[in-house]
Chain A
Amino acid sequence: MVDITEMTNWGVDLIDVRKTYGRSIHALRGVNIQVGRGEIFGLLGPNGAGKSTLVKIMMTVVRPTHALGTILGRPIGHHGKLARTGYLPENHRFPGYLTGNQVLHHFAALAHVPGAVRKKNAGRLLDRLGMTKWADTRVSKYSKGMLQRLGIAQALMNAPELVVLDEPTDGLDPMGRRDVRELLVELKESGTTVFLNSHLLSELEMVCDRVSILIDGLVARQGRLADLTDQTVEYRISYTGNAAAVRGKLVALGATVDEGEAILAGCEADKVNHAIDLIRAAGLMIDSVIPKRVSLEDILAEALADRSGSADAAPVARPVSP
């Protein structure tokens, strides 16, 4: 018989998660977040928004004041599902007396990974993250970047169905960050659900399918990244030559004219074409026309502005199960 709770398509389905420290510090005020299986999900928000608290509640490190919902189809903290979840905490510390290889074996054994599987996975992950050479070196001798790579390997030792990564690129150099991005895409392709918590918006933008913006313990925005950023906010037309003759006409169209560049707010194509015609008619050479789309940073800034405008925004509606 199939257990009905296993049948949900959500990898993570959090409903009305609340956390109050003491009597008055409301870290989370009724968070609803849904993450589809096999997608890369990004959680973002300003400092103190409650992101780490939410991640810690998911991983049972912090006890919620109230929480409903499931992780991998089971209630939060279900041991069977914790064994199928990988976790990289922010600023993690591993015992300095263990070698990298021992760290991987130690934590995987605690997640009930059999010895033979541990051996195979440790070798593969150390190789994938460029750590084979350091496998038998004590962790106390590792650099921050090496510790981060080891932390990621540790989170993947149990071939998880869900992996929760808190600031995964912290301490990594640009090449390391690229490696991690590629690894995340590989995980997604293999069907693993990836839950990312990061304040590096550009990193999230490059890999996430869906995002949630958490502000003051509430979800302020949530949705597919493509939907949220599918708006052109302005066009930048670069040209060579003196635009004094057409400046007035461009300004009349609503453009801001700087030296060698006209910025046209909005996304109306006819206005852009008209501006291009004006510039060309003045005998100027157009170098480029670049549409600027909404970035995560813009969305976050907008959400923050909305939040400061209204003291208690209504929670974001729960999306339909995929």
Chain B
Amino acid sequence: MQFWTLIVDSFRESLDRKIFWVLAGISVLVALAMLSVGIEEHGMSFMFGMWEVETGRYSPLSGLGRANVAGLLVYILMSFFLGWIGVILMVIATADVFPRVMEHGAVDVLISKPLSRPMLFMYKYAASMVFVLIQATLFVGLTFLVCGLRWGVWLPGYLLSIPLLVLLFSYVYCVTVLVGVKTGSTIASILISLGAWMLFTVPVTAVQTFETYPTLMKQERVYHAARVLSWIPPKTSDIQIFAAKWAGAGSAFDLFPKGAIKGADANQMGRAREMDEREMQKSPLMSIGSSVLFEAVVVLLAMVSFCRRDY
């Protein structure tokens, strides 16, 4: 009874937030924009047929075309709209959950109920995930349906982006919660968690830089340190890789026609593509497992702080 009471309450709270409707509006707009694009036999049409483009022999319905559609969904729409903008907005929308719960007068009634503090904490944490789950389902669900119904490209693997997006959000949100519980400040929790998100990518970026530019390999100790460090924080960038892989999108380089990337050194491009392909071979179990472990430790710290506090 208590679980559903708090979930229903979180749902009501979500609907009361303007940002919930802003995000839902973005999802509908993106879906509408995609709906305005038509795939014809020898080309594509935009703005519901107002503007047509010949694509010659290339058909979006071919094998490569399907991979490109999946790439468009994952690399551009999911990663950008929901992966970056969406997660930032969702962190902003949910950052005040714990500071609000912990306000004097609000927390007293809740804590005086026969509900253990760890359970209250976990229910509230889960409630934020429900908020994100609704948004991710709306975005991915709508774009999935448009692809299938309008373009005839059904990509069931793309639906796995829903849990992946919730996972990506949870990697950042654990820090939001820890800072929120420790400081009681919504602003601090937003700024610090977004800063932490940037920091999470530093070791992985360092490793990638070492591997792209072999001349840097002389700093072997730094490289090894970066490799070890890269296993500690959540692997936020891996989420996009797994989403692409499971949706059948292939490498991000496939999105660009051959020769489109000019001025790049051929060797360098080769290494980057090779690295991209290696990234696609990453083990989801190791990546997600180590990230969830980090998240669990941070959530545990936040929960201990929440439970041991006097209100």
List the interface of chain A (C-beta within 8 A of B). 21, 56, 59-63, 79-80, 82-83, 85, 87, 89-98, 102, 106-107, 109-112, 154
Contact = CB atoms under 8 A, between A and B. Distances in A.
Contacts, number: 80
Contact of A61 (B15, B16, B112, B116): B112
Given A110-B5, A110-B113, A111-B113, A87 B12 contact: no
* Most-contacted residue by chain B among A80, A89, A98 (CB, 10 A): A89
A21 B103 CA distance: 19
Contacts of B311: 56, 61-62
Given A109-B1, A109-B5, A80 B114 contact: yes
A60 B310 CA distance: 9
26 contacts: A21-B310, A61-B107, A61-B310, A62-B310, A63-B308, A79-B116, A80-B114, A83-B113, A83-B114, A87-B112, A89-B112, A91-B104, A93-B106, A95-B9, A95-B13, A95-B106, A98-B9, A98-B12, A102-B12, A106-B5, A107-B109, A109-B2, A110-B5, A111-B113, A112-B1, A112-B114
Given A62-B310, A62-B311, A106-B5, A93 B105 contact: yes
B1 A59 contact: no
Nearest to B17: A97
B11 to A, nearest CB: 11
Interface string B290-311: 0000000000000000001011
A60 B1 contact: no
Contact of B113 (A62, A82, A89, A96): A82
A87 B109 contact: yes
Interface in B142-182: none
Given A83-B113, A94-B109, 7 more contacts: A60-B112, A61-B311, A92-B109, A93-B106, A102-B12, A107-B113, A110-B113
B111 interface: yes
Contacts of A107: 109, 113
Interface in B9-23: 9, 12-13, 15-16
Given A93-B103, A95-B13, A112-B1, A61 B113 contact: no
Contact of A92 (B6, B16, B108, B115): B108
Contacts of A154: 109
B111 A60 contact: yes
Contacts of B232: none
B110 interface: yes
B292 to A, nearest CB: 29
Contact of A82 (B5, B6, B12, B114): B114
A61 B110 CA distance: 9
Contacts of A79: 114-116
Contact of A59 (B103, B112, B308, B310): B112
B268 to A, nearest CB: 54
Contacts of B5: 106, 109-110
Contacts of A102: 12
A94 B114 CA distance: 18
A32 B114 CA distance: 24
B114 A87 contact: no
Interface string B77-119: 0000000000000000000000000011111111111111000
Contacts of B1: 109, 112
B5 to A, nearest CB: 4
Closest 9 CB pairs of A and B: A89-B108, A97-B16, A79-B114, A93-B105, A59-B112, A110-B113, A109-B5, A82-B114, A87-B112
Contacts of B13: 95, 97
Contacts of B107: 61
A59 B12 CA distance: 27
B112 A92 contact: no
Contact of B310 (A63, A87, A94, A111): A63
Contacts of A96: 16
B107 to A, nearest CB: 7
Contacts of A80: 114
A107 B1 CA distance: 11
B109 A89 contact: yes
Nearest to B1: A109
A59 B108 contact: yes
Contacts of B113: 82-83, 107, 110-111
Contacts of A90: 105
B105 A110 contact: no
Nearest to B308: A63
A60 B115 CA distance: 11
A61 B108 contact: yes
B63 to A, nearest CB: 50
A96 B103 CA distance: 14
A85 B112 contact: yes
Contacts of B110: 110
Contacts of A97: 12-13, 15-16
Contacts of B15: 97
Contacts of A98: 9, 12
